[in-house]
Structure 1
Amino acid sequence: MGWTHRRLAKGLLFWPALLGFAFLGPRSRLCRMGLAGSSGETLSYQDEDYWEQRYKTGDKGANPDRIDDRGIGWLCGYKGPLQETLQAITAGDRSKVILNVGCGLDRLSPEIYADGYTNLLSSDISAHAIAEMQKSTAEDMPMAKWLVDDIMDMSVPSESVDIVVDKGTLDALLIRPQPFSCAAKALREIQRALKVGGIYLMITHGRGDPDAWRLPLLAMPHLSFNVAKTPDMGGFFIFVCTKLPSDSGDAEEAWRKAEEWARERDQEDQEAEFAAIDDVGQ
């Protein structure tokens, strides 16, 4: 992991006056929970059908999580540190093009739009979620755009977005099988969609310590981000990742190295899980 701290900003961002805002309770790790599919198989966060069923029926599976899909939603509400951060990085410029990835039925997109950011594109892998949000917001968000899309293979044009907002989507990828490979693909797509100088705004508190699990991902050799992060904001962290001009060199070779590193980390992760299962069985 020779590149773990490459291009990472040493400064941290602080909002001391906002530490008392309301938030969802902290979760040290999202477990691999699921619900039964039509053929009897167990679906979980890694499955597209899981999200379709969840958003259609509200069923969160046999071990339901604590996520409020239609209220505060994933991790935190908009008002507070998230809103303050977005306003700071846009310098109040409401014309910025914003992409909210993995929007689901969360209230984040409507709240960003109501704050004046009307050049807003929201995407999710669930067609049901996008259709419902389009219908429910048609009157209040006439300029907003909604898109069924996979964060690991997005249809968003290259260098077309000023800010990508990710509230818990990378966290969901990190509980899939091959979590690091999935995250590497998603981050490649996010960087591709961002303009140079654009910002990936990641709100996270999913799997593991944020420094150990997020910083190595953001410093992979196919990426070019300057990174700052908040302290613990009460169960979640905010990462501000600014896209830098690409380093001169072979982009394909950089991606090959990133894929190799991700596969190695996935293997280590799987071995650790098997070892933990063996320990429980002793």
Structure 2
Amino acid sequence: MAPGAAAARCYAEEEGDTRSDGTRSYGEARYVEEGGASYGWYQRYAALRPFVCRLVPPASRLLMIGCGSVLMSEDMVADGYMEIINIDISLVLIEMMRKKYFDLPQLQYMQMDVRDMSKFSEESFDCAIVKGTLDSLMCGVEAPLSAAQMVLEVDRLLKPGGVFMLLTFGCKPAR
């Protein structure tokens, strides 16, 4: 097993979740089981706010990659952010989030695999935020390839001078 996969597997086991394998089927089952409960994985927006506000103006077009059910996008709208595209591989989750935030036009939700974001044109975002998605990818088959595909897609989508924020629990040797 690759070092990154081992680290991600160990993290999942520490959290009491031995099913995490970075696949769509896992995510679908988890979101159905949880019924759309919101979580602040890794860091809540309040802790990240100083960095986000300093690096990303509210008029920016943002891509929230592997959005899950976190409240960060909603909190960013409260701070004046006007366009946040949230993507996740789980169609169940995306449908739940569309219903939950139907009244916030600043938030869009799309089902998409982070390794292939070809629905978006090149240089179409000012900022991409990834909170934990790398760790999920590192649990799957061909983890290093999946991680590289995601990063290459982010590079393709960011405008020159764009901001890429990546939050991971993986230690440097594993990432």
Q: TM-score range by the shorter chain?
A: 0.7 to 0.9
Aligned letter for 2:102? A
SS at match of 2:99: helix
Taking the aligned partners of 2:143 and 2:82, their CA distance within structure 1 comes to 33
2:100 counterpart of 1:115: no
TM-score (structure 1 length as normaliser): 0.54
Q: 2:32 pairs with 53, 56, 63, which one?
A: 56
Partner of 2:105: 142
Q: How does 1:225-236 map to 2 (within 5 A)?
A: none
2:43 counterpart of 1:76: yes
Kindly indicate which of the two structures has a greater share of residues assigned to helix.
2
Q: Deviations over 1:98-133 (max 9, x none)?
A: 100101111111112221111110000011111111
Q: Deviations over 1:198-251 (max 9, x none)?
A: 01101111x3x2x3233xxxxxxxxxxxxxxxxxxxxxxxxxxxxxxxxxxxxx
Q: CA deviation at 1:178?
A: 1.8
Q: CA deviation at 1:28?
A: 6.9
Aligned letter for 1:134? R
Taking the aligned partners of 1:28 and 1:89, their CA distance within structure 2 comes to 33
Identity, % of aligned positions:
29
Measured on the aligned residues, the alpha-carbon RMSD in Å equals 2.1
Taking the aligned partners of 1:192 and 1:151, their CA distance within structure 2 comes to 12
Aligned letter for 2:174? W
Taking the aligned partners of 2:66 and 2:72, their CA distance within structure 1 comes to 11
TM-score (structure 2 length as normaliser): 0.85
* Structure 1 gap ranges (5+): 1-26, 35-43, 60-68, 215-282
Structure-2 change in CA distance of 1:51 and 1:28 (3 Å): closer
Q: CA deviation at 1:191?
A: 0.5
**How many residues are paired up?**
163
SS at match of 2:70: coil
